[in-house]
Amino acid sequence: MLIMIDMSARTLADSHLRLAGWLSILSAIITLPLFVLAIASIEERSSGLALFSTLLLIFHTGIYCYVYLTFRDFLHAHFSFSAIDKQIAVIVGVSIAAAVIHVLSFVFSDAKEVLSILTFILIIPLGIVSIQMGLSLFTLRDTLSGLRNAYSYLLIFMGIFLLSIILIIPGLLLGIIVDSILGIILLRSASEIKK
């Protein structure tokens, strides 16, 4: 297992879900600027732009991991659903690996192009696990506040787009929508728990 932080051992409070929901929406908001900054920092060779891009990516990676680990723990605590644990572990692992590669490309600027290729290679497992996760979520008996099917289908399409390589940009745009829907699922679930 890559990362096993289990919040389901204690009661998963509505405040954790609410925080994860808002962080998921924040993740969606900063995804496109982060992608543009990453590309611009490769092209511009500006150390200031590269540093800002690196810091933003580290922040984004942290919130992204927190959101997915909270989602996993929510599914455990409320539905005893663990069918997507491995996919979430891969998502977290790939996110951390991409952040580490980006930091290395900032530190070792001579290897930036090679490290950028490694980052694009990481898109392949992300695409695969997105498809697997979308398919597995269809087996969840709960509708996730009526958004399970939309979330699952978009995960599948995002995975297909990422795997196609030529549709990475639409895949990233779908990722923004996926993160937003996950945020809404977590926020609605927090409201339902509070009742």
144: left (phi over 0), alpha (psi -120 to 50) or beta: left
Whether residue 90 is contained in a domain is answered as yes
- Residue 61: half-sphere exposure toward Cβ, Cα within 13 Å: 18
Whether residue 158 is contained in a domain is answered as yes
33: left (phi over 0), alpha (psi -120 to 50) or beta: alpha
Q: Considering its fold, how many domains does the chain have in total?
A: 1
Across 101-115, 117-131, 177-191, least confident range:
101-115
Residues of the domain holding 90: 12-189
- Confidence tier at 11 by pLDDT (50, 70, 90): low
- Residue 65: half-sphere exposure toward Cβ, Cα within 13 Å: 21
Taking only the tens place, the pLDDT of each residue in 53-103 is: 888 989 999 999 999 999 999 999 999 999 999 999 999 999 999 899 888
Whether residue 4 is contained in a domain is answered as no
Whether residue 60 is contained in a domain is answered as yes
Q: Taking 90 as the threshold, does the pLDDT of residue 37 lie above it? A: no
pTM of the model: 0.87
Judge residue 158's burial from the number of C-beta atoms within 10 Å of its C-beta, 0-12 exposed, 13-18 middle, 19 or more buried.
buried
Taking only the tens place, the pLDDT of each residue in 145-184 is: 999 999 999 999 999 999 998 998 899 899 999 999 999 9
Q: What is the mean pLDDT of residues 26-40?
A: 86
CA distance 61 to 57: 6
121 contacts 94 by C-beta, under 8 angstroms: no
Q: Taking 60 as the threshold, does the pLDDT of residue 4 lie above it? A: no
